[in-house]
Amino acid sequence: MPRLTRFQKIRQSRPFLLIALTVLVLLILLLNNGKEVFNGGNATQLMNRLSYQGLFVTAMACLLMSGGFDFSIASQAALCTIFFADFVTFYPNVPWIVFALVVMAMAACMGLINAFFSQVLNLMPFICTIGMSSVWLGVANWYSRGLAKAVNVQSFSAVASSRLFNSPIPLTFVFMILVIVLYSLLLKYTRFGRSVMVAGGNPTAARLAGLDPRKIKTALYVNASVIAVIAGLIYTAQQRSAATGGLPQATPEMRGLTSSMLGGVSFMGGAGGLTGAFFGIILIETLAYSLTIMNLPAWFVLFVNGMLLVVALTVDSVATKTRMRRLGIRSSGAGGMVMPGMSR
């Protein structure tokens, strides 16, 4: 078989396909509603959405690559930002960054709790984290009484309003890009990053190599919770308030899951990268925001989001079977499937 050139590898890669689809979507929108969709204000709003959605994708993709899953990170972010709003209100003389670190520590504890259920008690993470999502959201509603908490701290709000060299590009968007680049480098060039892929792809081989998949996944559960709260703080700075009905209703976990799988991250772990996941969320957010601007019915937006998830699952299933066939591994069918995070 002839070796592919670098250009051929790029052309056949998942990120290239997603870029092509994004450009196609933009061209279609340009031909139909160009003036309505394409302007500086809408571009800034889209980048604002990507600023926190991209961080959720980073958290979700890293966890998926290890074979884990956490459906509660948006609820964790909602609870922590509500506490943050009260902290900065009750203690106005304390720099807000101190309380940001406090709620990040709270998030780390929540990640440890989820890791305990999935890695120590060996509960199915897809189910138990859905349950924990309701727990965190229930606590948030009890504490806030269902009311939004205003955040009137100018220096904190400036985090969302700052622009790169007076351009339409928000600094939070640049921060998100830097985070994705950093995690991409860590996953590709560090021992821990390679351990993540081994633990997700073949936990038995990881144990034989002296690795502990449970410790690796525990670290990534904590990491996902902390990144989610950082994303929640960015969202709070944009809205200038914290509420239980903000992030959870935006379902960033589902968008993170869909964009990760569209970008080549396997639902079963052990494959993928953040580059594809990043272009996946760009495609999803560009399409969703454009449909909203065009005042299309809400049911149509839900329909498109659902179809994207089904397509992502289908592509992931085909890619997984192809990879197993190349390795000479027989699929045991749906009954033999191991859900993400379960011991294998």
pLDDT tens, position by position, 249-281: 777 888 888 888 777 787 776 667 788 888 888
For the 11-327 domain, the top CATH level (class) is mainly alpha
Q: What is the pLDDT of residue 227?
A: 95
Can you list the alpha helix ranges (DSSP code H) found in 38-163? 40-65, 73-90, 96-115, 125-144, 154-161
The answer to whether residue 107 scores a pLDDT higher than 80 is yes
How would you class 70 by CB atoms within 10 Å of its CB: exposed for 0-12, middle for 13-18, buried for 19 or more? Answer: buried
pLDDT-derived band at 342, boundaries 50, 70, 90: very low
Instruction: Give the residue extent of every domain in the chain.
Output: 11-327
CB 120 within 8 A of CB 341: no
Q: What is the pLDDT of residue 244?
A: 84
Q: What is the pLDDT of residue 338?
A: 45
The answer to whether residue 306 scores a pLDDT higher than 80 is no
**Local structure of 204: helix, strand or coil:** helix
Q: Cα–Cα distance between 143 and 103 in angstroms, integer?
A: 15
Q: Cα(first)–Cα(last) distance of the chain, in Å?
A: 34
Backbone phi and psi for residue 166, each to the nearest 5 degrees, phi listed first: 60, 25
pLDDT-derived band at 83, boundaries 50, 70, 90: very high
Q: Name the DSSP letter for residue 318.
A: H
pLDDT-derived band at 17, boundaries 50, 70, 90: low
User: 174-204 burial string, b = 16+ CB within 10 Å, else e?
Assistant: ebbeebbeebbeebeeeeebebbbbbbbbbe
Q: What is the pLDDT of residue 179?
A: 94
